Every structure is written in C-alpha cells, then in structure tokens.
C-alpha cells in the first residue's frame, strides 16, 4: 500500500485502500481487497467534537462517549471545522429530529477537511449501515447498545480504513458507565435502566434502544457515591421507564423503590430525581418513598399522552384515563406538595376533535407544572405506521397551539400561587444573561435571583417576587435573617 503524508490534512495520510464495504463484526483484520482508488488514510485522532440530539438518555450517552474518548487521550474542542473526529449522537423520535441530523450529515460531505466521522445513537440503530449508502463520507455507525465499544470500532476504522458499524440489538452491562465526562459539577445523570419493553404503537424507542436491561444496584450506588464524593448535589436517575427497574431481574429482589431507599442512605446524598415514569408502573411504594425519603424531590414526570380511552388503547398505553386520574389522586394525597409533568401527542391517527378535547380537559384538570406537547409523527417500523396519518397538519398545529395556550395559563397560575413564599433552591450556574444565578426548587421550578458566584452548588432559601413565563424571579433570604424570623 502506497502511503504518503498529506500536508493539506495534517491528521491524515493519503494512500490506496480496500473496498470500502461495511461490516458489523469487530475483527482486526487488514482489508482483503486493495482497489486502485485513492482516499485519505486516518491517523489516531487527537481532538474530537460531539453534537447531541434527543433526550436526556442521549445526553448521558454523549457524556459516556466523551469519557471513553478522553481516557484514550483525545481532547474535546468546540470547533466542528477543525476537530479530527466528529461524532453525531442522533435521535429518531420524530421525523423532524431525523431530518435535522440528515441535513447535518449531508453538509459534512461538502466540507473541505476530511475528518473521521461517526454516527451514534437512535438513528444509528434505526438506519444501521444504510447510512453508508446515503453518506459515503461516514466512517462508522455505533448503536445505542454499543457506546462502550466505541474505542474498538475506532481502532478498526484506523486499522482497516474501512467503514465499520456495530449495532447490537441488546445492551450488555459493563462498567464503562463510570467514565462519563460530566458537563456540570452540581448535577449529574445516572443511568439505572436502558431500553423499553412497553411498545407504545407510535414509538421507535423499543427498536432503537432494545428491551429493558436494569443496571446492577451495586454499580449504580458506586457511581452515586463517587458523584457525592466529588461534590455533586443532585442526581437524576435515568431510564425510558425507571419504574420498571429490577423487573427484568427478579432474582435481585430490588425494585425501583428499593433502589431509591439504598441511594437515599448514601452519606452526603443531596437531591435525587428520576425520569421518566410510565403511569402503569407508578406504585404506592414509590409514592411513599417520595413522601419519606429526604433526598427524593417532589416532582414526577409521568406522561398521560392522551385523554381519550379509545386513543390510549390504540396507543397501547395500557391504562385508561380513569386509572391515570386514580394514580394522580393517590399521589397528590400521599405527597400533597408534588408537582407533575407530562408529555402529550396530538393528532394521533383517527383522533377526533371530541377526543382531543378530552386531552385538553385532562390538562386543564390535572394542572401539570410542566408539559411537553408534540404533534404525531409516523415512525418507520412502529405498529402505528400501518394506520393512515389522517389528521391534517393544520389541525395538528391547531390542537398543539390550544394545548400550549392552556398550559401557559396553568403555568402562570401555578407560578403566581408561589409568589411571596420562600423555597429551597439548588443553585446550578449563572443564568444565560451571565448576571443572575439560576437554580431549581425541589419541585423543578426554574428560579433566577441575584447573588455571588460562590453560591453555585449550594442550597439557598429564595423568596419568589415575580415570574416571566416559566421562570420565577426571586431574592435570596439570608440564613441569619431566617433565624431571627
């Protein structure tokens, strides 16, 4: 193989290479077929850039990927043009999410510098090696269940100079979780369960992340202890459905609430949150844990998705509106100061105006503290794809807007009811304006107030004076002043 240094691209070497075909096994064999076309040959990258699309699960995967790359000696640079290695950690949840990533990948092929380019995440799982056909400048594709194999995949790209993909259907537990690179030093995500077994008919997640695999409690506790030792004040336990924790491993005899009790006992543990909860799996034991465990915050994000029983059934959400409302009633009885969050899809196939109004009524009655509303987007490979996407876009947009308007007024009413009262706020960082400090109450309300930088990472008592949209604006009450009162 003729190899010579390229002056134009200092991190790569030019030469003749193999057939460029893709494969999905990791085996370190040199290319068998040498063809006569010339491409760049990569050297070990020194710098990387990573962009994340999608949910908190993907954000955490990005941090795990970063941890591995930095362990290998690569340095992050916030410079997409010049980094040697570019990674796009992708999302597939809606068509718009995929189109954003596809647009980005297309652009990269037109750039001047020849980087090593990899796609990871949910779209990598959904599209696998077909991405190589569409984007010949891609070097590797790594699925959600293989993020800890990234180093081996990179080795293979460097050694064989061929496109490589690894997209296993199932996640194998391993300890590389512990090398996540956190982008924050006050709060951190900790994965407790990967995948989802619920198979809602509209959702790609069970296909892009595979079935549920709980992480051993010992490993979770160890990571939480390390975070506490490093001064972290808040941990968010992550999973597509955290309430399923332990159900796939009955021999562990440790369900979600059992895990919470163990985490709460860690000396020095600050706040604990969790995301996301499937309404069916929210148990009375969990509600009691929220009431009784000092670390556990009084906020539960448990999406209703729709307020009509016919639509809920068609979505395969496995609860009725009445059962959902019963859970809300039980939760608010056991934890009276609890705040709730939801996700809702409008314009699901065949949803009538009357059925949408049931959803609207549910949002009106439950008074969520925060709501994320989406218009239905058909996803390839899901059961709902069989049904005609029959609600016109304008109708979906109209329903979405009505929900947004309703939620905006509920949000204002809830914030208004907090004015004049004092809440405990964990100070996370400076607000975007760089002047006010930003933090959250236990019930996940965003608060900004004036104060010095050294309050970051501490708990402060803040009196709420006003609000703008979802953000409360407050003033810090000094501890000594509180004592005198």
The site map against ligand F3S for 132-171 (x = CB under 6 A) is ----------------------------------------
Query: Is residue 119 involved in binding ligand F3S (CB under 6 A)?
Result: no
**Both tokens of residue 32?**
């068998």
Packed helices 256-264 and 284-292: angle between N→C axes, nearest 10 degrees: 10
- Which residues, other chains included, contact 253 with Cβ-Cβ below 8 Å and sequence gap of 6+? 246
Query: Is residue 91 involved in binding ligand F3S (CB under 6 A)?
Result: yes
Q: Quick one: which segment of 5-13, 53-61, 386-394, 439-447 binds ligand F3S (CB under 6 A)?
A: 53-61
The nearer residue to ligand F3S, 160 or 208, going by C-beta atoms, is 208
Query: Is residue 121 involved in binding ligand SF4 (CB under 6 A)?
Result: no
The nearer residue to ligand F3S, 96 or 288, going by C-beta atoms, is 96
Q: Quick one: which segment of 111-119, 202-210, 420-428, 470-478 binds ligand F3S (CB under 6 A)?
A: 202-210
Query: Is residue 163 involved in binding ligand SF4 (CB under 6 A)?
Result: no
The nearer residue to ligand F3S, 159 or 372, going by C-beta atoms, is 372
The nearer residue to ligand SF4, 206 or 347, going by C-beta atoms, is 206
Chain residue whose CB lies nearest ligand F3S: 54
- Chosen from ligand F3S, ligand SAH, ligand SF4, none, partner binding at 291 (C-beta under 5 to 8 Å by type): none
Per-residue H/E/C for the chain: CCEEECCCCCCEEEEECCCCCCECCCCCCCCCCCCCCEEEEECCCCEEEEEECCCHHHHHHHHHHHHHHHHCCCEECCCCCCCCEEEEEECCCCHHHHHHHHHHHHHHCCCCCCCEEEEEEHHHHHHCCHHHHHCCCCCEEECHHHHHHHHHHHHHHHHHCCCEEECCCCCCCCHHHHHCCCCCCCEEEEECEECCCCCCCCCCHHHHCCCCEECCHHHHHHHHHHHHHCCCCEEEEECCCHHHCCCCCHHHCCCHHHHHHHHHCCCCCCEEEEECCCHHHCCHHHHHHHHHCCCECCEEECCCECCCHHHHHHCCCCCCHHHHHHHHHHHHHHCCCCEEEEEEEECCCCCCHHHHHHHHHHHHHHCCCEEEEEECCCCCCCHHHHCCCCCCHHHHHHHHHHHHHHHHHHHHHHHHHHCCCEEEEEEEEECCCCCCEEEEECCCCEEEECCCHHHCCCEEEEEEEEEECCEEEEEEECHHHHHHC
**Both tokens of residue 66?**
């970063």
Shortest distance, position 197 Cβ to ligand SF4, whole Å: 8
Residue (of 88, 81, 6, 87) closest to 43 by Cα position:
6
- Chosen from ligand SAH, ligand SF4, ligand F3S, none, partner binding at 208 (C-beta under 5 to 8 Å by type): ligand F3S
The nearer residue to ligand SF4, 64 or 196, going by C-beta atoms, is 196
273 half-sphere exposure, CB direction, 13 A CA radius: 25
Shortest distance, position 187 Cβ to ligand SF4, whole Å: 23
Query: Is residue 311 involved in binding ligand SF4 (CB under 6 A)?
Result: no
Q: Quick one: which segment of 91-99, 164-172, 304-312, 457-465 binds ligand F3S (CB under 6 A)?
A: 91-99
Shortest distance, position 400 Cβ to ligand SAH, whole Å: 11
The nearer residue to ligand SAH, 246 or 303, going by C-beta atoms, is 303
Chain residue whose CB lies nearest ligand SAH: 343
- Chosen from ligand SF4, ligand F3S, ligand SAH, none, partner binding at 228 (C-beta under 5 to 8 Å by type): none
**Which of 206, 307, 451, 474 forms a contact with ligand SF4 (CB under 6 A)?**
206
**Which of 43, 104, 198, 225 forms a contact with ligand SF4 (CB under 6 A)?**
198
Query: Is residue 239 involved in binding ligand F3S (CB under 6 A)?
Result: no
Query: Is residue 209 involved in binding ligand F3S (CB under 6 A)?
Result: yes
> Which positions touch ligand SAH (CB under 6 A)?
93-94, 202-203, 205, 240-241, 276, 278, 303, 305, 343, 345, 374, 376-377, 379
The nearer residue to ligand SAH, 126 or 203, going by C-beta atoms, is 203
Q: Which residues bind ligand F3S (CB under 6 A)?
A: 54-55, 57-58, 91-93, 121-122, 204-205, 208-209
Q: Which residues bind ligand SF4 (CB under 6 A)?
A: 196, 198-200, 203, 205-206, 240-241, 278
């Amino acid at each position: 193989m003729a190899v010579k240094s390229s002056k134009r691209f200092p991190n790569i070497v030019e030469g003749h290479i193999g057939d460029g075909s893709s494969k999905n096994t990791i085996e370190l064999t040199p290319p068998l077929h040498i063809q006569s076309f010339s491409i760049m040959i990569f050297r070990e990258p020194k710098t990387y850039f990573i962009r994340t699309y999608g949910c908190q699960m993907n954000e955490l995967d990005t941090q795990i990927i970063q941890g591995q790359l930095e362990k290998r000696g690569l340095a992050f640079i916030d410079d997409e043009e010049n980094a040697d290695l570019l990674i796009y950690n992708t999302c597939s949840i809606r068509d718009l999410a995929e189109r954003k990533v596809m647009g980005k990948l297309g652009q990269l092929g037109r750039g001047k510098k020849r980087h090593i380019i990899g796609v990871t995440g949910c779209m990598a799982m959904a599209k696998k090696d077909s991405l190589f056909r569409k984007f010949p400048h891609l070097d590797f594709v790594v699925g959600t269940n293989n993020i800890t194999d990234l180093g081996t995949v990179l080795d293979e790209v460097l050694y064989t100079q061929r496109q490589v993909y690894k997209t296993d259907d199932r996640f194998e537990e391993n300890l590389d979780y512990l090398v996540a690179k956190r982008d924050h030093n006050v709060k951190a995500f900790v994965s407790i369960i990967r995948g989802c077994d619920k198979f809602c008919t509209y959702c790609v997640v069970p296909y892009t992340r595979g079935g549920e695999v709980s992480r051993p409690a010992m490993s979770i506790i160890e990571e939480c202890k390390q975070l506490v030792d490093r001064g972290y004040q808040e941990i968010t336990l992550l999973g597509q459905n955290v309430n399923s924790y332990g159900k796939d491993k009955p021999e562990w005899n440790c369900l979600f609430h059992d895990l919470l009790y163990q985490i709460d006992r860690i000396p020095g543990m600050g706040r604990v949150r969790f995301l996301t909860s499937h309404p069916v799996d929210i148990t009375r034991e969990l509600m009691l844990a929220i009431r009784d465990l000092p670390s556990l915050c009084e906020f539960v994000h448990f999406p209703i998705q729709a307020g009509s029983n016919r639509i809920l059934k068609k979505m395969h959400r496995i609860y009725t509106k009445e059962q959902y409302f019963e859970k809300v009633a039980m939760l608010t009885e056991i934890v009276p100061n609890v705040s709730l969050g939801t996700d809702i899809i409008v314009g699901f196939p065949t949803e009538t105006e009357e059925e949408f109004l049931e959803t609207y009524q549910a949002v009106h009655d439950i008074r969520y503290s925060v709501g994320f509303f989406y218009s239905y987007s058909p996803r390839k490979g899901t059961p709902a794809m069989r049904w005609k996407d029959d609600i016109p876009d304008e109708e979906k947009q109209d329903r979405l807007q009505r929900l947004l308007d309703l939620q905006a007024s509920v949000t204002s009413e809830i914030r208004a009811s907090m004015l004049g009262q004092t809440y405990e706020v964990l100070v996370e960082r400076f607000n975007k304006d760089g002047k006010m400090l930003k933090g959250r109450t236990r019930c996940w309300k965003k608060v900004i107030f004036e104060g010095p930088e050294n309050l970051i990472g501490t708990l402060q008592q803040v009196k709420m004076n006003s609000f703008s949209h979802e953000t409360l604006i407050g003033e810090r009450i000094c501890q000594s002043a509180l004592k005198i009162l």
